[in-house]
Structure 1
Amino acid sequence: MSDYIKLNKDNWDERAPLHAASTEYGTQTFIDDAYHLSDVVRFDVPLLGDISGFRGVHLQCHIGTDTLSLARLGAQMSGLDFSPAAIVQARALAERSGALIEYVESEVYHATSVLPPASFDLVYTGIGALCWLPSIDTWARTVSDLLKPGGRLFIREGHPMLWSINEGREDALSVEFPYFEREEPLVWDDECTYVETDVRLKASVTHAWNHGLGEIITALLTHGLDITGLVEHQSIPWNALPGQMVCDDHGEYRLKEAPWRLPLSYTLQAVKRRG
């Protein structure tokens, strides 16, 4: 196992139970309310459209709140994550919510070893996933391998311009990190996670990569997908730049001043070519 996989897996294994217990993920609300959707998926609904009857897979599904939300929109969902602790939490949430969702443990690049290739109508990837992968080309090949001809990719992600900004600066938008994919990872050492908790992570070191929007699109085109939609958004569902953002009634954060200066997230859709 390469260092980045072990380091990141150890980190997310610690995070998973903390996230499942947090108010931010609101797992109890999913259990109590059979119609509840995550804020992320609710934001996606206008562009997702009707997915009832789709066979879908959520890559890097974490504890499964978005996966469960997609199932509640009518898709027959599977979820994949490399963290066994996250899969435990995802399965528990699905069971307690009465949802039939298949969860499998695997690295993204090995997805077709645990899921049937060319069998999915929908591949979904959500916020904060791609940065943990070193090669966007290998990811795009995996997406293509999973989709049926004519199947859809739907992704909403943090914008690569946002990832290049130093979030520690509260007085300016300062571009200090790579926009383009580089072989060397960004190495972070942070004992905190993004939910409110007094617990400090022991596995605090992680490796991450940025991927430019052009690199993502080129990789998908190379592996047989045609882009059908690309929308850049002025909001993101967490306080990505502390001190510079405000939160709206839907849990989306925007820049307090001149939000048109910076794209914060994007929605990309693509379809696998037939033949």
Structure 2
Amino acid sequence: MGDDWRALNLANWEARVPLHLSPEGYDLASFDDPQYLSGVVRYDLPRLDSIADLDVVHLQCHIGTDTVSLARLGPRSVTGLDFSPSAIAAGIALAVRAGAAVRFVECDVYEAVTALGVGCCDLVYTGIGAICWLPDIRRWAEVVAALLRPGGRLFMREGHPMLDTLSDTRDDGLLVVQYPYFETSGTTFSEEGTYGGPGTVAAPEGVSFNHGLGEVFGALTAAGLTVTAAIMKDSLRRCSSAGGPARDPSAPPHPRAGRRPLQLSSRRISAVCWPTLGAGRVGPSRRPSTTSGWRT
């Protein structure tokens, strides 16, 4: 597919931003309350551990609601990175509105080390519905490992990859595998709606990529991370927030999100959770990690 996936996905996410910024989209007004945290970050708090005085990088941050929320937890610094210019502009505006000291960088995930530097952070945070937009999970894991300082960690929460194999158009109640479980060249889709607000997405086409659990864990360990924790839930968490959509707009923006009976969470590769995943420190070797937990 070459780089066509990137052009399609960038156009798709650029087209989503104005819908997510609409009054019926993401709940941005709540950030006027200095104590407010996004539903995603509130849900992650018990597994995230303290991030006080840490340098944090949030990959694929979109319009920055979770990034600004992380900045309210006392880190030394927070940087949000996303490839969408419109999303980065929205994140900057939200940080100003919320009075949060957040740096936003427009950049592809795969170029994050060039943009931010080797060993630039203590924590890499990535939210639900992120890696399904990336074609090469090993390359992603190498980026995460390179960003982390010795003893750093990755916190990752994701949907179980099996969910993304299921047909969501059946009316007979059967769970039927229709899409690939393992990494492929991608699945093209066209969807005019978006999870984060009403309206029509002007560029509805995109490409999603599934990555099996073994591929994700294998990529992280091959990059030098150590899994310190893994947690699996039996449902895909969708938080509701007052004044916003019925479900947390930061919750999974996967193109085939019709039926999702499972969820994952993760932290450092100290801890990994599926539906949530994470990573943490390795110990004496000082290699990067992830959570569910991964550590370096």
Instruction: Normalising by structure 2, report the TM-score.
Output: 0.81
1:252 to 1:11, Cα distance in 2 relative to 1, 3 A = closer
- Aligned pair partner of 2:174 in 167, 172, 175: 172
User: Which letter maps to 1:215?
Assistant: E
Report what 1:160 is aligned to. Answer: 161
User: Which letter maps to 1:87?
Assistant: I
Report what 1:263 is aligned to. Answer: 262
SS in 2 for 1:114: helix
1:24 to 1:173, Cα distance in 2 relative to 1, 3 A = farther
Per-residue CA distance 1:56-78 (angstroms, 9 max, x = gap)? 00000000001111111112210
In structure 2, C-alpha distance between the alignment counterparts of 1:22 and 1:231, rounded to whole Å: 35
In structure 2, C-alpha distance between the alignment counterparts of 1:186 and 1:34, rounded to whole Å: 41
User: Is the Cα contact below 8 Å between 2:80 and 2:103 reproduced in 1?
Assistant: yes
Report what 1:3 is aligned to. Answer: 4
In structure 2, C-alpha distance between the alignment counterparts of 1:237 and 1:88, rounded to whole Å: 28
User: Is the Cα contact below 8 Å between 2:5 and 2:206 reproduced in 1?
Assistant: yes
> How many residues are matched?
257
- Root-mean-square deviation (CA), in Å? 2.3
Q: Is 1:224 aligned to residue 206 of structure 2?
A: no
Per-residue CA distance 1:64-101 (angstroms, 9 max, x = gap)? 00111111111221000000010010100000100010
Runs ≥4 residues deviating over 4 A: none
In structure 2, C-alpha distance between the alignment counterparts of 1:67 and 1:34, rounded to whole Å: 14
User: Which letter maps to 1:232?
Assistant: M
In structure 2, C-alpha distance between the alignment counterparts of 1:35 and 1:167, rounded to whole Å: 38
Q: Is 1:35 aligned to residue 44 of structure 2?
A: no
1:174 to 1:24, Cα distance in 2 relative to 1, 3 A = farther
In structure 1, C-alpha distance between the alignment counterparts of 2:281 and 2:139, rounded to whole Å: 16
SS in 2 for 1:153: strand
1:148 to 1:134, Cα distance in 2 relative to 1, 3 A = same
Instruction: Normalising by structure 1, report the TM-score.
Output: 0.87
Report what 1:18 is aligned to. Answer: 19
SS in 2 for 1:94: helix
Unaligned runs of 5+ in 2: 240-245, 253-259, 265-274, 288-296
Unaligned runs of 5+ in 1: 240-246, 254-260
In structure 1, C-alpha distance between the alignment counterparts of 2:148 and 2:154, rounded to whole Å: 8
In structure 2, C-alpha distance between the alignment counterparts of 1:145 and 1:272, rounded to whole Å: 14
Q: Percent identity of the aligned residues?
A: 47
- Give the 5 Å matches for 1:146-157: 146-157=147-158
Report what 1:104 is aligned to. Answer: 105
User: Is the Cα contact below 8 Å between 1:227 and 1:268 reproduced in 2?
Assistant: no
SS in 1 for 2:155: strand
User: Is the Cα contact below 8 Å between 1:62 and 1:87 reproduced in 2?
Assistant: yes
